Every structure is written in C-alpha cells, then in structure tokens.
Amino acid sequence: MSKRDYYEVLEISKSASPDEIKKAYRKMAIKYHPDKNPGDNEAEEKFKEAAEAYEVLSDDNKKARYDQYGHAGMSGAGGFGGGGFGGGGMNMEDIFSQFGDIFGGGFGGFGGGGSSGRQQIKGSNLRIRIKLNLEEMVNGTQKTIKVKKMKMAEGATSKTCPTCGGSGVQMKVMNTMFGQMQTQTTCGTCQGIGKVADKIPAGANAQGLIKDEEEISINIPAGARDGIQLNVRGKGNDAPFGGIPGDLLVIVEEEVDQIIKREGDNLHQELYVSYSEAALGTKKEIPTVGGKVKITIDAGTQSGKILRLAGKGLPSLDSYGKGDMFVHINVWTPQRLNKEQRDFFEKQMSSGEMEAEPSGKEKSFFDKVKDLFN
C-alpha cells in the first residue's frame, strides 16, 4: 500500500509555516487520539500516520529532503522504529515520548495513561560523526560502525517500586488553614518509572545497565551535506526497566578532496595543460563524482578559461536538479628547457610570431567570476 503525501495527511499546503504544521498535527492527533477512539484500529493508524507526517515536516532538514525526493528520500534517514520513516516499528510510546507536549495537557498517555503519574523513561541519545567523501555524499552509501553504548545487562531484573506500588506517584496530604489538601508528586524512589532494580549483575550500574559494543548499519541518503544530522531511532543507550532506547544522532562531516573542491552544490577543479596542448587543442580525462569523463580543450585556449560541466555537481537539497562542475584551465609554463626547446622559443620570440596579441574579447577575472553566478 502506497503512502499518502504528508501534506495531504495533515491537510496543509507545502507553503505552511512551522506554526501551521504544528496546529494541523494537533488537530489530527486530537481527532484520532486512542483515548477518543478506543478499539478503533483505523483511527489508531491515522493517529500514527499524522505523527509520522509531523515528524518529517517539523524538521527543516527532513522536510527539505521530503520536498525534493518524496518518500523515497526518507529511507534510512531515521524516523520511527529506526528503519526509515514509517518503517513499521512505530508505536504509541514513541509518539507520546516525542510529541506528548503538543497535546497541551488535553490527553494523557495511550490507553488512559494520563490518569497515572507513571512515566515511560527513555534512554539517552548518542552522537557520532561520520566522514564522507564527495562520491558518497552524491550517491549515498551504507556505513557499518561499532558503537559503545549502555545496554541492559544480561540477568538484570526489576521489581515494582515499594514506595508507590508501581503507579509512579506519591500522594501527600497537607494540613492548611482551609483544611487538608492532597497533592500528587512524582515518586522519589523510582523517579516516576514504577519499577526499581531487583537483581544487578556484576559490572552493571545501579539501573542494571552495562557498557557494551554494538555493530550498527547506517544508510546515508544521496545528497547528504556537511553538518547534516541523521537520526537512527532506537540505537542510542538503553533505558532501564524496559523503557524506550535513545536515538543515535549521526552528524555528517565532509572529507576534504585533494582535487575537487565544493562550493554549495557546485564543484571546482583545476586542470593544467601544456603550451602545446593549449595552442593545438587536445582531449583530457578528468575525475568527477560520477566517474571519469573526457573533455575537449579547444585550440588557442587561454590560461584562466573556465569550462562548465552542467549537472556534474551535488544534488540540491533546496530544489530539484544538481549543481555543476567548473574546470579551471591553467596553461603550465615550463621551468626547464633543453637546448632544442630553448632554440625553438628564442626563434619564435625573435620572429614575433608568438607575441601576445589580445583581441580585446578576452574576459577579465571579474567577468569570469560573474559568469559563474549567471
């Protein structure tokens, strides 16, 4: 079954502001909230669908990718369940832990959980950096890394909190001038979880967690950029007592290329040619992020000429299409000449046949810079 367009799900236009997106989600979430529609599977699915749409459209980076690539661009970029947006692992606890505050206190947790102070604890997030070369940024890639994280120790068990009886709250009665007043506070023993540690294996902390190493595969989508953060759901530190694992936040770093330099979506590289090649013309093979290509150097090419290879840059995150590759031609002046070469150049100089004769049509440096942006 194909996914519905996220804007259609929230009944908003693509130009909707962040505030409009939030209001639209709140409207849908309240309409299909499980507490208002008990036992209605269709309403529950629509509730999840709205949460999935909001999770993407409320994040500037994810929204930009979705606007450009649609649902196909979301795969592997994080989201509910850690398997991409709508990867099948989304559950109500994910939704309430991430977006619970958007209901403004109108509802509690799933299944009437609002009547209890018991909290669903979430493990802490982990943050790592991954270096990508230009080819990986353009085409996307999969990285398998080892991450040290806190995991529930084997054999660790928990029991119902003896202070609150598993409710997560404590009731306090205070005597005031108006009579007795009853207040509800988070349980100080279990911190609102409702459970405390029972058996703790050797090496584990007081919450039954132990540091361990896990191998994680991360899908990097095509068009990733330096500084972009990808969210791999549920691959952070475990939470104690069956809580929700934290997330793995992957920050992309660009690996500096020795030949090709990036400027936004455009790429630049310098190409050196000899006097003979510039005068007579030639063909040269150059590297691009999509593989090597051959370009033509016209006869009479001057040093400083810039060749433009359309669409050989990076995919744009803000619009459709790709950037360009600019090849900057430099005519290499030989530094050492043998006697035959020196005699040739001296003869040409004395005859005046190879004197510099600008036609007046040559572009200045500033004209070339202006051309790059036109």
Could you tell me if 238 and 145 lie in one domain? Answer: yes
Could you tell me if 246 and 298 lie in one domain? Answer: no
Could you tell me if 17 and 68 lie in one domain? Answer: yes
Q: pLDDT: is 334 or 242 the higher one?
A: 334
pLDDT at 271 > cutoff 60 = yes
Could you tell me if 26 and 52 lie in one domain? Answer: yes
In a domain, 245, yes or no: yes
Range of the domain at 48: 1-74
Angle at 237 between CA 231 and CA 243, to 5 degrees: 100
In a domain, 6, yes or no: yes
pLDDT at 94: 52
In a domain, 219, yes or no: yes
pLDDT at 237: 92
pLDDT at 89: 44
pLDDT at 272 > cutoff 50 = yes
pLDDT at 182: 74
Whether residue 345 is annotated as binding a ligand: the answer is no
Can you tell me the mean pLDDT for 294-298? 94
271: its two tokens: 């190409």
Q: How do residues 56-82 score in pLDDT, each as one tens digit?
A: 998 888 888 888 778 776 655 444 433
Residue that is written with structure tokens 């090849």 in the block: 327
Sequential DSSP letters for 284-330: EEEEETTEEEEEEE-TTPPTT-EEEETT-SPBPSSSSSB--EEEEEE
pLDDT above 70 covers what percent of the chain?
Answer: 78
Could you tell me if 299 and 311 lie in one domain? Answer: yes
Query: Among 256, 290, 325, which residue terminates a domain?
Result: 256
CATH of the domain at 358: 2.60.260.20
Instruction: Yes or no: say if 182 and 172 are a contact pair by the CB < 8 Å rule.
Output: yes
pLDDT at 359: 60
pLDDT at 78: 47
Q: How do residues 104-132 score in pLDDT, each as one tens digit?
A: 444 444 333 344 455 667 888 999 999 99
Could you tell me if 8 and 57 lie in one domain? Answer: yes
Sign of the alpha-carbon dihedral angle for 256, 257, 261, 262: negative
Nearest to 25 by CA among 93, 104, 79: 104
Query: Among 256, 288, 313, which residue terminates a domain?
Result: 256
Rounded Cα gap, residues 243 and 202, in angstroms: 21
Rounded Cα gap, residues 90 and 233, in angstroms: 10
Which of 183-192, 285-294, 315-324 comes out lowest in average pLDDT? 315-324
pTM of the predicted protein model? 0.54
Q: pLDDT: is 262 or 243 the higher one?
A: 262
215 — pLDDT class (breaks 50, 70, 90): very high
Query: Among 19, 49, 74, which residue terminates a domain?
Result: 74
Rounded Cα gap, residues 205 and 211, in angstroms: 9
Q: How do residues 159-181 score in pLDDT, each as one tens digit?
A: 888 988 888 888 877 776 666 77
Q: How do residues 310-346 score in pLDDT, each as one tens digit?
A: 988 888 766 677 889 999 999 988 888 889 888 888 8
Considering 76-90, 160-174, 262-276, the range whose residues carry the highest mean pLDDT is: 262-276
Q: In total, how many domains does the chain have? A: 3
pLDDT at 346: 82
**DSSP structural state of residue 326:** E
Whether residue 216 is annotated as binding a ligand: the answer is no
Q: pLDDT: is 365 or 57 the higher one?
A: 57
Rounded Cα gap, residues 128 and 143, in angstroms: 12
Whether residue 164 is annotated as binding a ligand: the answer is yes
pLDDT at 214: 93
In a domain, 292, yes or no: yes
Whether residue 19 is annotated as binding a ligand: the answer is no
CATH of the domain at 24: 1.10.287.110
Q: pLDDT: is 29 or 286 the higher one?
A: 286
In a domain, 2, yes or no: yes
pLDDT at 256 > cutoff 60 = yes
Mean pLDDT estimate for the chain: 80
In a domain, 111, yes or no: no
Sign of the alpha-carbon dihedral angle for 192, 194, 198, 204: negative
Sign of the alpha-carbon dihedral angle for 187, 190, 191, 193: negative
pLDDT at 369: 47
pLDDT at 251: 92
Distances (CA, A) of 221 to 108, 136, 253, 319, 366: 36, 9, 14, 16, 37
Distances (CA, A) of 84 to 52, 64, 77, 127, 307: 10, 16, 6, 18, 40
Q: How do residues 128-150 score in pLDDT, each as one tens digit?
A: 999 999 888 888 889 999 999 99
pLDDT at 65: 84
pLDDT at 268: 95
Could you tell me if 290 and 360 lie in one domain? Answer: yes
367 — pLDDT class (breaks 50, 70, 90): low
pLDDT at 211: 93
pLDDT at 286: 93
pLDDT at 306 > cutoff 90 = yes
Rounded Cα gap, residues 327 and 267, in angstroms: 9
CB atoms within 10 A of CB 270: 12
